[in-house]
Structure 1
Amino acid sequence: MSDTSQMTDKSALTYFIADLHLAQNRPDITACFLAFLKDEAPKAQTLYILGDLFEYWIGDDDDSPFILEISQAIKALSSIGCKIYFIHGNRDFLLGKRFAKQSGMELLPEITLIDLYGTPVVIMHGDTLCTLDVGYQAFRKKSRSWWWQAIIKSLPLFIRRKIANNYRDQSATATAMKSQEIMDVTPIEVVRCLEQYQSQILIHGHTHRPAVHDVKANNQQAQRIVLGDWYEQGAWLKVTPESMDLMDSPFELIEK
């Protein structure tokens, strides 16, 4: 079991976020996230970022002002004592130790079991649960291989940016042609994951369908909690020892 959720009396509050898809062409999302880091996140002792923080990630050597601004803002939160943990998403799986260190984040395995106020909870991005999306799963397997990543990282930054932009366009086209069933999680995979880790709670993002689903695993009632995306509002899961609540707020409210 991970020791990442050992709590103190500083604050009995933990936040989970995912699917912000930060990009320079969405300054509204960026402003919302920066306001969240400054005004909301400091209330919590721990922040878990469950993937797709960025729309795409071309490498830790990207020294653009945009990336630097995000890194410094996350680091500022870390510097006041908030523990920040990151799990890779399907858009930012190349994010590495260098960026994590300079941002004050700790990288976690793609599926991690945490002790959340005494309850074992599985956290992940969620893309591995979508087993019916055969085309994506094939790409995922290839793109996580050491040789594919070595080739990509060896390319000049400007070429990597072009590849990332092309992939984003292709992904949008492919997604528009897929059914909702294919893009959602496979129920049997959810149960398999919960039973493998002997947990009754799974928290993930990826599907952009915030909700709390009741399922049955380990011959008991269980819950699958899906985080919301940040396309039209800020969204986070607020967890205390007594409750778990999906929260959201319009951009203009958070930015104030």
Structure 2
Amino acid sequence: MTTLFISDLHLSATTPEITQCFVQFMREEAIHAEALYVLGDLFEFWIGDDDCSDFALSIRAEFKMLTDKGVPCFFTQGNRDFLVGKRFSKQTGVQLLGDETVIDLYGRKAVVLHGDTLCTKDVKYLEYRAKVQQPWLQWIFNRIPMFIKKKIVRKVQSDIRTDKQSKSLDIMDVTQDEVEQVMLKHHVDLMIHGHTHRPNVHHFPVKETDYTRIVLGDWYSQGSVLVYDKDGFELQQRPFAS
């Protein structure tokens, strides 16, 4: 049995090749897993749990089929899907996690998170994150008409694209000090996250102990899956259908 991790799919109705790869993954791989962890940015932007578009309904249905088969599925909100909430959880059977969660992987403790909070040099983004995470603001947003929500989201997406163009890659990557502080806080030597779109496995010493940080890949040009079992782990790719 394996535990699977994915992040940064950025699913949307305009990228059917990614959705097709995701559906195939869910039906052919995740269904046989011991558990599935989605570490944020499953969607290009989740507009809210009241989204009843065909696309949103189809993605909910994939998760519902998986959890109905008895496969536990866990979801950490990312910077694109922070509005995934209790209604989504109830409709799909997916269990929502906090910003940082310690899990047991075959006897080894690991902290899992989206990864955006590790990018402490990106001060402007962290300020934006603090604003949109405020419960009162989300409460208001969830109660405005859908057509207004869509206008707001289009503006936010445009601002994000513009902002990223002016930032260096260094600013948008994690800071090592923050990585180590989070791992020390949770007393773990393994961290798994996404967000940076830089799939890799980093090994480094902390207080004479070997630590490991696994970074998940995005799904822009292929699927990306971390496969973890009792014998170890591997970052793997899944090609899009030709």
Contact 1:191 1:216 in 2 (8 A): no
Describe the SS at the equivalent of 2:224. strand
Q: Normalised by the size of structure 2, how large is the TM-score?
A: 0.98
Q: Normalised by the size of structure 1, how large is the TM-score?
A: 0.92
Paired amino acid for 1:233: Q
Which residue, out of 120, 144, 168, partners 1:179?
168
Are residue 122 (structure 1) and residue 99 (structure 2) matched?
A: no
Please report the RMSD computed on the Cα atoms of aligned residues, expressed in angstroms: 1.0
Paired amino acid for 1:194: M
Superimposed CA distance per residue, residues 69-123 of structure 1 (whole angstroms, 9 cap, x where no aligned partner): 0101111111111110000000000111111111120001110000111111000
Q: CA offset at residue 216 of structure 1? A: 2.3
Q: CA offset at residue 222 of structure 1? A: 0.4
Describe the SS at the equivalent of 1:224. strand
Q: Which structure 2 residues correspond to residues 142-221 of structure 1 after superposition, within 5 A?
A: 142-221=131-210
Percentage of pairs with the same residue: 47
Superimposed CA distance per residue, residues 156-208 of structure 1 (whole angstroms, 9 cap, x where no aligned partner): 11111111111111101111110010000011000000100010000000000
What is the CA–CA distance in structure 1 between the aligned matches of 2:5 and 2:207, rounded to whole Å? 25
Structure 1 alignment gaps of length 5 or more:
1-11
Paired amino acid for 1:244: F
Indicate the residue corresponding to 2:232 in structure 1: 243
Paired amino acid for 1:198: H
Q: Between Structure 1 and Structure 2, how many residues are aligned? A: 242
Superimposed CA distance per residue, residues 39-98 of structure 1 (whole angstroms, 9 cap, x where no aligned partner): 111121100000001111111111111100010111111111111000000000011111
Indicate the residue corresponding to 2:76 in structure 1: 87
Are residue 47 (structure 1) and residue 23 (structure 2) matched?
A: no
Contact 1:51 1:90 in 2 (8 A): yes
Paired amino acid for 1:115: D
Paired amino acid for 2:158: D
Are residue 30 (structure 1) and residue 19 (structure 2) matched?
A: yes
Describe the SS at the equivalent of 2:171. helix
Superimposed CA distance per residue, residues 1-33 of structure 1 (whole angstroms, 9 cap, x where no aligned partner): xxxxxxxxxxx2100000001101101111110
Contact 2:189 2:210 in 1 (8 A): yes
Superimposed CA distance per residue, residues 123-160 of structure 1 (whole angstroms, 9 cap, x where no aligned partner): 00000000000000001011111222122122111111
What is the CA–CA distance in structure 2 between the aligned matches of 1:200 and 1:67, rounded to whole Å? 37
Structure 1 outlier segments of 4+, above 4 Å: none
Q: Which structure 2 residues correspond to residues 50-61 of structure 1 after superposition, within 5 A?
A: 50-61=39-50
What is the CA–CA distance in structure 2 between the aligned matches of 1:101 and 1:29, rounded to whole Å? 25
